[in-house]
Structure 1
Amino acid sequence: MIPITPVGSSAGVALRYLDPGALNLTALPPLSLYVHFPWCVRKCPYCDFNSHEVRGSFPEQEYLQALRLDLEQSLPLIWGRKVYSVFIGGGTPSLLSADGLDQLMSDIRTLLPLDLNAEVTMEANPGTFEAEKFKRFRASGINRLSIGIQSFNTDHLKALGRIHDGDEARRAIEIAQANFDNFNLDLMYALPQQTLGECRRDLETAMSFAPPHLSLYHLTMEPNTVFAKYPPQLPDEDASADMQDLIASETAAAGYQHYEVSAYARPGHQARHNLNYWQFGDYLGIGAGAHSKLSFPHRIVRQTRAKQPASFMQAAQAGRAVHEEAEIARDELPFEFMLNALRLQEGFDPNLFGERTGLAITAIEKTLDAAEAKGLLYRDHKLIRPTVLGQRFLNDLQQMFL
């Protein structure tokens, strides 16, 4: 560290120290809020999220109180910063009662300076849809739903361990259409024994409802899941690639922009909350197992909460909701940034790298050159983006920045 004597200092005045490894963020990025609801009706065999099956009931009031305490304890870290999006995920947050959701939204508005045009998303399971309850969700301030359809094929839904069938999926979308202008449908493909024709029918059924946003995920075998332990028979790589090609052509023909690896949107309906993640923005995560990434002028910090709901609630009551906290090391920032930003199909402005990491673009110059030489990356003075080849081998491209 280099000692710096303050202007006008005299003997006895403590010296400041300039850390040559410190960052220099000229402005803090946009801030989002993530709220985790950890319970679901049944744990799906492919799911590696922090979710726990409801055993009869769940402690709604105790959990809502813990969420408020967690948020209150976090306020000094984000003081004065406006929140531009809220995402309530899980688990299955649509298990919350209408009164419970209203209480949560009231606490958020009371404690945070929420932007007037903030996007407020809630995840919902078709097996939990009740028309009257979702009307009240909308009245409480939810203005975007993300519905976990996964498939309209009842056999595939059974294989995935979902609690709804195809008819319930359609009914859920009709309720969403009646109450929300903005909603997303989650679909999965390359499902156990799924054919290209079945994938097409799922996609056509979803698009028949004209959703503003589609999320289309390739089923993957995540560690520590039932599917990882007992793998089902999945379509081979060629069949999976055919499904990806089908999705690309059909969504484009229907007017959807493929703007991120798994995200497709009609004009003006990109998911603002998720875009903030991919552009390496900041987010405060509250609730069991939630993660935060928070920037300060000279450092960027990550936090996690305890995964078990009971442990989280006890910790929040004791005034220590944050379970772990660590500063992101300077040499880890390039990979952290590129891991997210390279998911954007249209790429990003090179200036964004400096704005969000506090580092000069020269920190990754050699790797950019190497990726460009391999045909994985296109760049000029206004744009860095993965090529078609880079999109196909995205994991390899991202790992070059490790």
Structure 2
Amino acid sequence: MPLTAPPLSLYVHIPWCVKKCPYCDFNSHAVRDGIPQDAYVDALLADLDGDLADFGAASHGRPLASVFFGGGTPSLFSPASIGRILDGAERRLGFAPGIEITLEANPGTIEHGRFDGYRSAGVNRVSFGVQSFDDDKLRRLGRIHSADDAARAIGEARDAGIDNLNLDLMYALPTQDLDGALADVERALALAPEHLSHYQLTLEPNTLFASRPPPLPDSDAAWDMQEHCQQRLAEAGYAQYEVSAYARPGRRAAHNLNYWRFGDYLGIGAGAHGKLTDAAAGTITRRAKQRTPRAYLEHAATARRIASDTSLASADLPFEYMMNALRLVDGVPRADFAARTGLDDTALADALGEATARGWISRDEAVLRTTDEGQRLLNDVIGLFLPEREHA
């Protein structure tokens, strides 16, 4: 089957934050001696030029459908720096009509008036890392903001005319009970965001919480929190469309949807990851950049900025595709698998047959979609598509 080039997005990684949170396993680095903003913007644009040269025709003539500034804490960068990055990306690739441009923001790092500058620079969506509206829980999580700081920052974004906001909320926090989880959701709903990311706190390897676990609710309590919060969000008009994502009508995250639908994205910045389809050559490549800011800044204009390039093998593509697509509650058109991977539908046949027989995937000839039970057992469902199972 011929490959079809999917939509193209851009991920920009800003690796610095004020302090490292004890639960965080992202590539983030606490600020110690200031941030070299100008040098880093220069490096990002040099990195982008390198990727465009390396991928050649596969990356040309494909305007960006979305841009996402993630971190770290992108709101540590000035509006002028964000604007210079966006201007450089638009000159090199062009922006599709209605492009979504998201900036992650820590409510504790926002200076008064900055959102006016971000909006003027082109940002039209802001994602706030709120996590909780309980000040005790925020302290336990190592966050630098308070509940009042979060409400104030969200208000300033609204005042600046940004009408597309996401709030990140966690549940199953240290010592949290069901009432506390629901109280966080109510505080979030009172601020009327267009989108909510609601996900369970987990203990990730190589984090402070992993080495010194806090007192967390057990799995049954966490499940109760998920079910009750999900019900409350639905009552308030927020439809769940992905495992941890809820949105008002027409406000789903375009950038994240591109990931989940196995779209393409260039990744620039320290530790950034990208994926690019070369339809003419029939290849799909994943690329990662140097992880530390120092190494990245040193090599951003050279081939040494690349930490790894991996060409995805045909045997890996069913798992690569399904681990993203099956996160979507509504699933994906069945025909998209062939278009995005170049493989015939028969590559899914054995695993899909087993998942369907177990009641984990719906018997729908047009859409690949999990059942309610499949959503609850999602890791097990996705595991059926691992290539090594073919040889077990």
Give the TM-score range, shorter chain. Answer: over 0.9
Where in structure 2 are the equivalents of 1:201-216 lying within 5 Å?
Answer: 201-216=183-198
Larger deviation, residues 324-333 vs 102-111: 102-111
How far 1:89 sits from its partner (Å)? 0.3
- The 2-side partners of 1:197 and 1:361 are apart by 46
How far 1:321 sits from its partner (Å)? 2.5
Structure 1 residue 352 corresponds to structure 2 residue 336: yes
Aligned partner (choices 39, 43, 46) of residue 20 of structure 2: 43
TM-score by length of 2: 0.95
Aligned partner (choices 69, 74, 77) of residue 93 of structure 1: 74
Could you say which residue in structure 1 is the equivalent of 2:134?
Answer: 153
Q: Quick one: which amino acid aligns to residue 186 of structure 1? A: D
- The 2-side partners of 1:381 and 1:152 are apart by 44
Aligned partner (choices 178, 194, 207) of residue 159 of structure 2: 178
Q: Quick one: which amino acid aligns to residue 208 of structure 2? A: V
How far 1:322 sits from its partner (Å)? 1.9
Q: Quick one: which amino acid aligns to residue 267 of structure 2? A: G
3-state SS in 2 of match to 1:35: strand
TM-score by length of 1: 0.93
How far 1:375 sits from its partner (Å)? 1.1
Could you say which residue in structure 2 is the equivalent of 1:12?
Answer: none
Structure 1 residue 258 corresponds to structure 2 residue 235: no
Q: Quick one: which amino acid aligns to residue 161 of structure 1? A: G
3-state SS in 2 of match to 1:235: coil
Aligned partner (choices 90, 108, 111) of residue 127 of structure 1: 108
Could you say which residue in structure 2 is the equivalent of 1:396?
Answer: 380
3-state SS in 2 of match to 1:188: strand
Could you say which residue in structure 1 is the equivalent of 2:34?
Answer: 57
How far 1:319 sits from its partner (Å)? 4.7
Aligned partner (choices 313, 317, 330) of residue 333 of structure 1: 317
Structure 1 residue 280 corresponds to structure 2 residue 262: yes
Could you say which residue in structure 2 is the equivalent of 1:222?
Answer: 204
How far 1:96 sits from its partner (Å)? 0.4
- What are the Cα deviations for residues 308-347 of structure 1, in whole angstroms up to 9, with x where unaligned? 0010111113354222111001100000000000000011
Aligned partner (choices 95, 109, 132) of residue 90 of structure 2: 109
How far 1:131 sits from its partner (Å)? 3.0
User: Quick check: which has more Rg, 1 or 2?
Assistant: 1
Structure 1 residue 231 corresponds to structure 2 residue 213: yes
- The 2-side partners of 1:377 and 1:194 are apart by 33
- What are the Cα deviations for residues 60-114 of structure 1, in whole angstroms up to 9, with x where unaligned? 1111110010011111321111110000000000000222122222212222211
- The 1-side partners of 2:351 and 2:308 are apart by 31
Structure 1 residue 34 corresponds to structure 2 residue 15: no
3-state SS in 2 of match to 1:203: helix
Q: Quick one: which amino acid aligns to residue 274 of structure 1? A: N
Larger deviation, residues 92-101 vs 32-41: 92-101
How far 1:130 sits from its partner (Å)? 2.0
Structure 1: runs of 5 or more not aligned: 1-22
3-state SS in 1 of match to 2:45: helix
Could you say which residue in structure 1 is the equivalent of 2:48?
Answer: 71
How far 1:156 sits from its partner (Å)? 0.3
Could you say which residue in structure 1 is the equivalent of 2:178?
Answer: 196
Could you say which residue in structure 2 is the equivalent of 1:378?
Answer: 362
3-state SS in 2 of match to 1:312: helix
Aligned pairs, how many?
A: 379
Q: Quick one: which amino acid aligns to residue 90 of structure 1? A: G
**Residue 35 of structure 1 contacts residue 287 of structure 1 at CA under 8 Å; is this kept in 2?**
yes
**Residue 184 of structure 1 contacts residue 211 of structure 1 at CA under 8 Å; is this kept in 2?**
yes
